[in-house]
Structure 1
């Protein structure tokens, strides 16, 4: 048994009652382990505090024997509080030792299901790409080298630079999911340190978005080449910049003709957002909603069935082939909407709001693909003439 630490103030109830109210009074009993006392006007409470790798944890142990005799359970004297602190520290260390990556993933997914929208996709990523290689590891066993080898194993070799870049970008996204789960465990005191995964960074220079947005002519050709029911979804995306999943979940009641807005409720981040509509866009949604019940889906297939998660893939490919366009993803319609706003001079804060980005950094990263001619024209048309070459008698010599 560990030796009891003595403290003239904390072990004496009379002296404890003279301490300032609502303040913690600490006494270290071993390295990284302290016992504390705090009183809020009545009976005081004993606390235990642990410090390891710069991280602190604080827990209540029980009531102090300020006015009642200690019973060793709910009411503790100073010596009993020390024993309880050591027992709790030992239990916490044991629990941390047995806690595995699978445990961390399970608890993270429970939280994710309650707080986020894309649960099925995230669970699929966890089950296919994280659990098989890392699930059985205890968090205390993880090292940067283990995580780095797992990350590198996600990237299949390729002699095509674009394909290799895309695979590394995918590995980065999976690494982000793993780190989110492990950080969730660390914040909930399931592991002492986050150093093992904090030291493993993503692949660099692989996430730059490709330059792909449609011109007005390309948009019209694509719309005309679509099947009638799918054409409505393509037009809607061009009018409001919504994601495919947001559009197929939209109800008739989400369109508000008086305010000329479309309220998207099934968004990626779970936060509803209102998208203002142009005159043309408002007329389009008015035609789509006409004669439908408020609770019904705004967009359905020709046979009345709901659109499914991947129904757009083949239809987009077929429409592009008929329209004579290079491959266009449905998500590129969203990029086209955002790019059109950016090239019209709409502030990035506004674009970020209507697209549902959390801040303008995401908007800047995605819309750095504005056409070079637009950027050049904007620069040339905005800078003043400084007169630096007026009256200059220098004549360039032509090379023969």
Structure 2
């Protein structure tokens, strides 16, 4: 199917002649009386087949890459369709145009995990917003270097730890102070948590 002469030897039929490009992805050539056409076929993970007409084959004239396609051009168009449709089926949408930052990548990652029902997404989101995004969030992914990540990681290791409180600690501190504890509710609560 990759040459005009090879395609002219094929018998005219309704069912396309398929060539597998990769797992679940194929390009088809349908020979007609007025020339052939290219078709892309994608098989989803659920087994559903999705078709896309690419355009006319260059059987009668030269390929222009817009309306008439050589085999190589049709394959390239099919690959573009496969990528777009695969992202769409996965719920990822269109790829980012222009600047793609660490913050955007993190948010995309967390949203994908949430869609899949992963556990711990909320805690990871808080951690990313507190530690990663303030330092690295504005950096373009293409400009993020290993050195920059190492420097950030070393800075993170030497920085002060976040103060974490046990669930209900603030309420306990208030109750403790109301009961006549003269140490002050928050201080007493922190001492109890530290133990």
Name the TM tier (shorter chain): 0.3 to 0.5
Please give the TM-score of this superposition, normalised by the length of structure 1.
0.23
Please give the TM-score of this superposition, normalised by the length of structure 2.
0.45
Structure number with bigger Rg? 1
Structure with the largest fraction of strand: 2
